[in-house]
Amino acid sequence: MNKKLFVLSGSSGVGKGTVLKGFLEKNPDFMLSISCTTRPPRPGEIDGVNYFFISKNEFENCIKENKFLEWAEFAGNFYGTKKKYINQCLEEGKNVILEIDTQGALQVKKQMPEAVLIFVCPPSYEALENRLRGRHTEDEATIQKRLEQVKKEIERSKKFDYQIVNDRLEDAISRLEDVVNGEIKNA
Ligand code: ADP
Ligand code: 5GP
């Protein structure tokens, strides 16, 4: 039985990872796709758990060999989702969630129009900036590069199926559960 593919996107620091963690704790039967990236690991990040951390050369080989369902350059690093893992999960009858940037989300929708795209918004631009800075994981130049993406991300989000405001965390998690459960019921 084929299952659904959900894509969660939003600006860096909006809280996608935090919302998703809360969602997956309550819904452990969903598979979270692990992406490949050329960005160096942050302290505490583990290869094969948070990402598959690969070199630019390896990433380029995967592109040449057509191994990615989607890939994008985001704020100076490359990120991509391997086709093999996603197809395997869907064929095994598991619902899959991708946490990827807006460029990648639109590529997925082109190839799999049945995929459900969900955009997570901040309550305000100031809140987004405070969260991104408050995480203390990026230097100032990287924070600036990430904030420069916001306009384009909002523009792309118009093509998404749902928008969720991450103001109070618990509300955002509940809203994500409502969206996902509604889509599964109607599948
Ligand atoms: P993203 O995955 O979108 O880049 P994170 O999940 O890493 O963002 O969250 C960025 C920062 O914002 C983290 O420090 C996180 O604890 C905080 N955060 C996430 N959601 C909320 C929220 N609803 N209210 C306040 N802070 C939040
Ligand atoms: P970070 O470096 O903060 O982990 O991620 C930066 C951005 O890359 C986020 O918007 C995140 O969702 C996105 N991202 C993570 N994995 C992928 C992927 O496989 N493909 C694409 N297109 N974006 C990804």
Best residue among 21, 74, 139 to mutate for probing ligand 2, ranked by most atoms within 8 Å of CB: 74
User: What is the H or E stretch that residue 111 is in?
Assistant: helix 102-111
Confidence grade of residue 123 (pLDDT, cut at 50, 70, 90) = very high
Q: Please give all residues whose beta carbon lies within 6 A of any atom in ligand 2, as ranges.
A: 12, 35, 39, 70, 72, 74, 79-81, 99-101, 103-104
Nearest ligand 1 atom, CA 168: 23
CATH number of the domain encompassing residue 112: 3.40.50.300
How many domains, the chain?
Answer: 1
pLDDT at 85: 86
Q: Say which ligand is closest to the CA of 165.
A: 1
Whether this prediction's pTM lies above 0.85 is answered by yes
pLDDT at 140: 95
Question: Domain limits at 147?
Answer: 5-185
Q: What is the mean pLDDT of residues 136-165?
A: 97
Average pLDDT of the chain is 95
Taking the C-alpha atoms of residue 82 and residue 23, their distance in angstroms, rounded to an integer, is 23
pLDDT at 2 over 70: no
pLDDT at 187: 78
pLDDT at 30 over 60: yes
Q: Say which ligand is closest to the CA of 102.
A: 2
The residues, ordered by sequence, that sit 6+ positions from 39 with a Cβ below 8 Å of its Cβ are 51, 53, 77, 79
Task: Give the residue, by CA position, lying nearest to ligand 1 atom 5.
Answer: 15
Pairing of strands 36-37, 96-99: unpaired
CB of 122 shorter than 6 A to ligand 1 = no
pLDDT at 3 over 90: no
Taking the C-alpha atoms of residue 64 and residue 82, their distance in angstroms, rounded to an integer, is 13
Taking the C-alpha atoms of residue 117 and residue 4, their distance in angstroms, rounded to an integer, is 11
